[in-house]
């Protein structure tokens, strides 16, 4: 699997980081997790377009994670570069209602597509012949979920989205080959993770490789790694926009 960090920031503007979006290439599919504002353009910088994505997967409905859903569908109607293959949208319960509200507002701008748009609300598992996903409700918003992706080799990637520390996150992350956790702030803020507790999650889960993302601009003034290393002795990386990882 190849992981490309399209955006590693948050909803606050940053000259260093785009809004949250992670592309994972597994089997013959391109899976794009979250599409914060500007991620459609950042995707282009990574060498991909709206025509290359097979699945859009969402953790929750905050704007910094889902704002480019409408623009993604709108762009796919561009007559000079028309998308023709089907598109799957996966997300927590409520994703269908979210999409319906978008269409009620934007109308034909994101309707009358040249392909089939398939939307599925996830309550547990989803699988194809090349990979499978398990989701877990996590404490951030009422709909927030995290993702556990496993390929045919048994390799596991976990993407937390926004969350606090909880046993459900430990269970989701158990023995992950790559654990992608949000690291919004340098100290405790409700609804988010911070370095000391991130190290605790990675250690308790037995993760092999930990990557920090969803980083607020205020964190530029802090050492995020040292507090994590005090708790977790495995490999640790701070994600940067357009960074690539293979496992």
Quickly name the fold that domain 2-246 has.
Metallo-beta-lactamase; Chain A (3.60.15)
Do 80 and 56 form a contact (C-beta atoms < 8 A)? no
- Segment 179-233, tens digit of pLDDT: 999 999 998 889 999 999 999 999 999 999 999 999 999 999 899 999 999 999 9
- Cα three-residue angle 52-98-17, rounded to 5 degrees: 55
User: Parallel, antiparallel, or unpaired: how do β-strands 87-91 and 235-238 relate?
Assistant: unpaired
Give the model's confidence band at 20: pLDDT under 50 very low, under 70 low, under 90 confident, else very high.
Answer: very high
Is 112 noted as a catalytic residue in this protein? no
- Segment 144-180, tens digit of pLDDT: 999 999 999 999 999 999 999 999 999 999 999 999 9
pTM confidence score: 0.97
What's the first-to-final CA gap in the chain, in angstroms?
6
Give the model's confidence band at 70: pLDDT under 50 very low, under 70 low, under 90 confident, else very high.
Answer: very high
How many residues are there in the chain? 247
Give me the phi and psi of 126, to 5 degrees please.
-150, 140
Mean pLDDT of all residues belonging to the chain = 97
Residue 34 backbone zone (phi > 0: left; psi -120 to 50: alpha; other: beta): left
Sign of CA dihedral 157, 136, 207, 231: positive
Do 23 and 46 form a contact (C-beta atoms < 8 A)? yes
Contacts of 3 (CB under 8 A, 6+ apart): 22, 23, 24, 25, 157, 178, 180, 244, 245, 246, 247
Q: Which of 122, 11, 121 is nearest to 66 (CA)?
A: 11
The active-site residue, picked from 34, 52, 54, 64, is 64
Q: Which of 182, 221, 222 is nearest to 202 (CA)?
A: 182
Q: Which of 196, 164, 194, 199 is nearest to 179 (CA)?
A: 199
């Amino acid at each position: 699997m190849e992981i490309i960090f399209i955006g590693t920031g948050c909803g606050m503007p940053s000259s260093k980081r785009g809004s949250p979006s992670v592309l994972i290439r597994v089997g013959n599919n391109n899976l794009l997790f979250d599409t914060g504002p500007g991620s459609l353009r950042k995707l282009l910088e990574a060498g991909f377009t709206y025509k290359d994505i097979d699945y859009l997967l969402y953790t929750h409905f905050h704007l910094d994670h889902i704002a480019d859903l409408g623009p993604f569908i709108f762009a796919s109607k561009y007559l000079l570069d028309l998308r023709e293959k089907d598109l799957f949208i996966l997300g927590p319960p409520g994703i269908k209602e979210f999409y319906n509200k978008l269409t009620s507002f934007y109308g034909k701008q994101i309707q009358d597509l040249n392909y089939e748009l398939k939307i599925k609300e996830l309550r547990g598992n989803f699988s194809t012949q090349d990979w499978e996903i398990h989701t877990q409700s996590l404490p951030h918003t009422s709909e927030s979920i995290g993702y556990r992706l496993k390929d045919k080799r048994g390799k596991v990637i976990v993407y937390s989205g926004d969350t606090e520390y909880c046993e459900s996150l430990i269970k989701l992350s158990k023995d992950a080959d790559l654990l992608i956790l949000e690291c919004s702030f340098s100290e405790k803020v409700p609804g988010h993770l911070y370095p000391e507790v991130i190290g605790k999650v990675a250690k308790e889960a037995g993760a092999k490789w930990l990557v920090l993302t969803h980083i607020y601009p205020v964190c530029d003034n802090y050492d995020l790694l040292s507090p994590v290393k005090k708790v977790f002795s495995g490999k640790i990386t701070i994600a940067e926009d357009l960074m690539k990882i293979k496992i």
